[in-house]
Structure 1
Amino acid sequence: MSDILFSSRPLPFEQGPPRFDVGLAPIEMQHWLMPDDQAIWVGPKNELMDAESGAVFASIRGSIPGQIEAAELVSHACGLRIDPGEPPLFAASRLVSDDLVLMEMRDGVWTNTALCLCSPTFFSAHDAIGKSLFGLHRPVPGGDPGLGGRISRVFSLLRDELVLERHNWTVQWSNARYTPDGTPLRNAAGAAALAEAKEALHLRVERQTIRRLPQTGAVLFTIRIRLYKLADLLEERDLATAFQQAWREASPDVRAYKKWDSLERHVAALLQNYAGDS
């Protein structure tokens, strides 16, 4: 297996099933965006941005100062210049594999004021723009007001020099990164033979960071997607055991939220082959 495959070890399922909690931990500033271990996506991402700019980017009035500050920080981290002829956050997003989401305090609540979303995990830029943290987390079990409120407090208490990181994971059918709608993938999985699971099932990991912007007080939220062929991971016995346990222990609300029902039989077949599941 390649070095890139294990660049983010430990993999998040090694800590158990997905959980709906804050789960943020501090990281060193120099590890915020660089090195970009998913830089292979930057070229195709730019092609997507050129072809579907109206679908992947959205902003609301008054967001330009925050966009400019966010773009300057991304440009500095990468050592690259942005295109001055494009919206600043859109231009900055061209430089990294990460999606960029700008959150600002509006009417007393943290609100999404601009974003470029080229690797969405089953939602779109236009689903998110203008929504508060509570609205963004409403679909998550316990998200509104519980999780949304806890994240809001973290945003409000962020220090300028602090970068926080968390990871989330799911399983999807195919290695597609641009997935604003998961329905086609679930339909394909539902119609597929078990033999197709080895090539099609992928672990999708979201590496998320938040960082306060000192001048505007906005928060920049970044999302980096890593995709791993699940069958390749399961070839390692310790990973197969850890994944099997995490998959089995995922609660019903996690399974329902992530819509894993279409994948259950395929994952079970892989686990039987690689983890000795019966």
Structure 2
Amino acid sequence: MTLGFSADELLPRARGGGVLKMGLAKLDERDWLQPRPDLAARAEGFAAYPEGIQLSAEGAAAGAELAAMLGLSGGLAEAARAHHEDMCLLTLRPGDEQYRLVGAAVAWPSDWTPADKMGLPLRALHAPIQGYEEQLASGVDHFMAKLKPGAIYGRCNWFIAATGEKRWVAEPPEQAFSHVTQQNAGETLFVRSERQTLRRLPETGAILFTIGIYTSPLGQFSRQNQARLGDAMRSLLEGEGDRRGAGAYAAALIGYAQRQEIERTP
């Protein structure tokens, strides 16, 4: 199975509201990483955000294993620079029940700072996500414990942002979306999708978590996906709306999607 490598392709499979679910799909090796990464963009991303590379002593061996597995010399940083995906390493300490973050090579984070997350266990890493502890934490812990080397799983999600920049730092929603209207939403609202994969490294037993960032303005999505986003806004407002700031842009997005549907109808 493949998830696709663009925001428009990913959207039908992406979670963007409602009850939290892992929503994992098993992937073939050929569908693991972006086959045609823009390495110049990756170099620019890391040059602009060097603090996105964090590696503890616990993660060094896993980083070296990852680089070798990808046919590279070096470690985690070299692996992430050579691919489209940001990459994180998680390991399980003796006596622990949760994996924790021991390495991150992240050029394009979605409103998080790797240095602040280093060393944290999974539940603390996801603490800002509304409903994670109640709806998803136990399932994630179980999946991580049972993940076998060789298996690759993927999932994706989406967010609405006021910028198409790959490295995203969220602003207060009322400020970020103050210029958005039903008329200009196609150019001023951007869908940001994270294509995430998980696999266990066979030698160290560390788990590699990759995050491929894809962004596109709302107006460049298919009409079906624009309608899908408009419908999703209603459930999002009832669930995670506060965290995602949906109240600041939902009416504009819904109105835009409805206008596009009307204009498309003969």
- Common fold by TM > 0.5: yes
CA displacement at 1:232 relative to structure 2 = 2.1
CA displacement at 1:112 relative to structure 2 = 0.2
Instruction: Summarize the alignment of residues 121-200 of structure 1 with structure 2, pairs less than 5 Å apart.
Output: 121-144=110-133, 146-179=135-168, 181-183=169-171, 187-192=175-180, 195-200=183-188
Deviations 1:32-84 (A, max 9, x none): 11424xx23x312212212431x2111223211011112222x23xxxx34x4
Deviates more, 1:3-12 or 1:136-145: 3-12
TM norm structure 2:
0.86
Q: Which runs of 5+ in 1 are unaligned?
A: none
Task: Tell me the amino acid that sits aligned with residue 262 of structure 1.
Answer: A
Deviations 1:127-153 (A, max 9, x none): 321111111121222212652221121
How far apart are the structure 2 equivalents of 1:186 and 1:4? 31
CA displacement at 1:90 relative to structure 2 = 1.0
CA displacement at 1:92 relative to structure 2 = 0.9
CA displacement at 1:220 relative to structure 2 = 0.1
RMSD between superposed Cα atoms in Å: 2.6
Deviates more, 1:244-253 or 1:201-210: 244-253
Task: Tell me the amino acid that sits aligned with residue 261 of structure 2.
Answer: A
Contact 1:111 1:130 (8 Å CA) reproduced:
yes
Contact 1:12 1:169 (8 Å CA) reproduced:
no
Instruction: Summarize the alignment of residues 205-244 of structure 1 with structure 2, pairs less than 5 Å apart.
Output: 205-233=193-221, 236=223, 238-244=224-230
Instruction: Summarize the alignment of residues 34-113 of structure 1 with structure 2, pairs less than 5 Å apart.
Output: 34-36=34-36, 39-40=37-38, 42-53=39-50, 55-73=51-69, 75-76=70-71, 81-82=72-73, 84=74, 88-106=75-93, 107-108=95-96, 109-113=98-102
Deviates more, 1:249-258 or 1:222-231: 249-258
TM norm structure 1:
0.82
- CA separation of 1:28/1:130 partners in 2, compared to 1, >3 Å: closer, same or farther? same
Deviations 1:89-147 (A, max 9, x none): 11111111101010001251200000011121111212321111111121222212652
* Aligned sequence identity (%): 22
Contact 1:207 1:225 (8 Å CA) reproduced:
yes
Helix, strand or coil for the counterpart of 1:178?
coil
Q: Match of 1:31? A: 31
How far apart are the structure 2 equivalents of 1:66 and 1:183? 35
How far apart are the structure 2 equivalents of 1:23 and 1:103? 20
How far apart are the structure 1 equivalents of 2:232 and 2:35? 29
CA displacement at 1:215 relative to structure 2 = 0.5
Q: Which runs of 5+ in 2 are unaligned?
A: none
Task: Tell me the amino acid that sits aligned with residue 130 of structure 1.
Answer: G
Deviations 1:161-199 (A, max 9, x none): 2001111111111211101x2017762322456544221
How far apart are the structure 1 equivalents of 2:102 and 2:198? 15
- CA separation of 1:72/1:259 partners in 2, compared to 1, >3 Å: closer, same or farther? farther
How far apart are the structure 1 equivalents of 2:20 and 2:127? 12
How far apart are the structure 2 equivalents of 1:7 and 1:72? 33
Q: Match of 2:13? A: 12
How far apart are the structure 1 equivalents of 2:228 and 2:174? 24
Contact 2:233 2:246 (8 Å CA) reproduced:
no
Task: Tell me the amino acid that sits aligned with residue 53 of structure 2.
Answer: F
Task: Tell me the amino acid that sits aligned with residue 32 of structure 1.
Answer: W
How far apart are the structure 2 equivalents of 1:198 and 1:71? 40
Deviations 1:207-237 (A, max 9, x none): 1100001111100000111112211225x2x
Helix, strand or coil for the counterpart of 2:26?
strand
- CA separation of 1:246/1:220 partners in 2, compared to 1, >3 Å: closer, same or farther? same
Task: Tell me the amino acid that sits aligned with residue 12 of structure 1.
Answer: R
- CA separation of 1:18/1:47 partners in 2, compared to 1, >3 Å: closer, same or farther? farther
Task: Tell me the amino acid that sits aligned with residue 13 of structure 2.
Answer: P
Instruction: Summarize the alignment of residues 240-251 of structure 1 with structure 2, pairs less than 5 Å apart.
Output: 240-250=226-236
